[in-house]
Amino acid sequence: MNSTPNAPAPAKLMPHLGLKGRNTFGLDAVADLAYEITAPEQIAAVMNQITEQNLPWRVLGGGSNVILPKVLPGVTLLMNITEQEIISSEQNATVISVGGGVNWHEFVVWTLENNLPGLENLALIPGTVGAAPIQNIGAYGVEIADYIDSIHAFDTKTNTFVTLAKEDCQFAYRDSYFKKHPQRFIVTNVIFNIPKVWQAKIHYADLAKQFEGNPNPTAEEIFLAVCKIRTLKLPDPKVIGNAGSFFQNPIIPNEQYETLLKKYAGLVSYPDAPGKRKLAAGWMIDQCGFKGQRMGEVGVYENQALVLVNHGNGTAQDILGLAKCIQDKVRKEFGVSLEIEPNIL
């Protein structure tokens, strides 16, 4: 059947594609079959092939939150949908549709350039817009879920496109329905709701220090401060492979927190839900002596113990081996379990 004039070209097939430059850890991985998805309409045909041939598959965006094995069997969908538009601008909010392949930081910059503040605390988080809600990315007191209206996605169970309301996404701390069910939906577009009334959020310690004596900074000033803090703390993946924060900050009951505080006066923590306290995983890892340590080709970043790094030729096995050493030591010392943040493919 001939395609219509406005139909997108079929997804580009790239067999045996090297992925070393497509994951921020810089892991030397190869995709057996890779398809570049530049339009939502391309997905159905690729998924039909996957189903007919019973192939394993996964979606790869910016590769900023994944740990890749040496070979990815089956099909890898490279998300590169980059359309972006303002759907509506009402009295209370602006609604924006953003393609899953748009670079997250570039989108944050665009919002500020268009006088749409709110996402500035999430500046410089690597990755794509489509991957952001899966992890429910967050930083300095803001989560992406705070600004999501809905998600457009391809439902692999029904082979149809669906719109998921915010409440259907089951957002929680670094979690979502998409993360719990990684092969149910393929996110194509994220619909953002940016309120017209804006308020600075600078209560996190590192950010608050930047604005001592300036309790009412602009969104642009917060953006620049966040970029400064992240640049000082986190290594550039172009220089040394990493996936940003490697462990989630654990949330514990207040009673357990009070017990730990008696033993560790300098324990770094933040208020969370009622009766809960969020501990700084990086501080605990540092106390266990891991900051700046190296184990073969991988190690812990010298300026931030929450970040694991690949010094050049590390593998997924190397990274996960180091992670287990850290988890075991923190559990033994503090009685707290650390959960890995990146997705292990």
State residue 227 phi and psi, 5-degree precision: -60, -40
| Given 97, 143, 277, 341, the catalytic residue | 341
| Given 22, 97, 245, 277, the catalytic residue | 245
173, 341 contact by CB (below 8 A): no
- Judging by beta carbons within 10 Å of its beta carbon (0-12, 13-18, 19+), is residue 54 exposed, middle or buried? exposed
| Given 22, 174, 230, 277, the catalytic residue | 174
What is the Cα–Cα distance from 342 to 345, expressed in whole angstroms? 9
Is residue 331 part of the annotated active site? The answer reads no
Residue whose C-alpha is closest to residue 174's, from 137, 148, 139, 145: 137
227-234 contacts, C-beta under 8 A, 24 or more apart: 227/123, 227/124, 230/123, 230/124, 230/139, 231/124, 232/303, 233/303, 233/304, 233/307, 234/124, 234/301, 234/303, 234/304, 234/307
CA 32 to chain centre: 25
Return the structure tokens found at 91.
Answer: 């009295």
State residue 150 phi and psi, 5-degree precision: -165, 175
Residue whose C-alpha is closest to residue 334's, from 257, 224, 236: 257
The sign of the torsion formed by the CA atoms of 34, 37, 42, 48 equals: positive
Cα distances from 161 to residues 40, 120, 187, 238, in angstroms, run 9, 31, 10, 36
The sign of the torsion formed by the CA atoms of 113, 230, 104, 153 equals: negative
**What 3-state DSSP class applies to 24?**
coil
The residues carrying an active-site annotation are 174, 245, 341
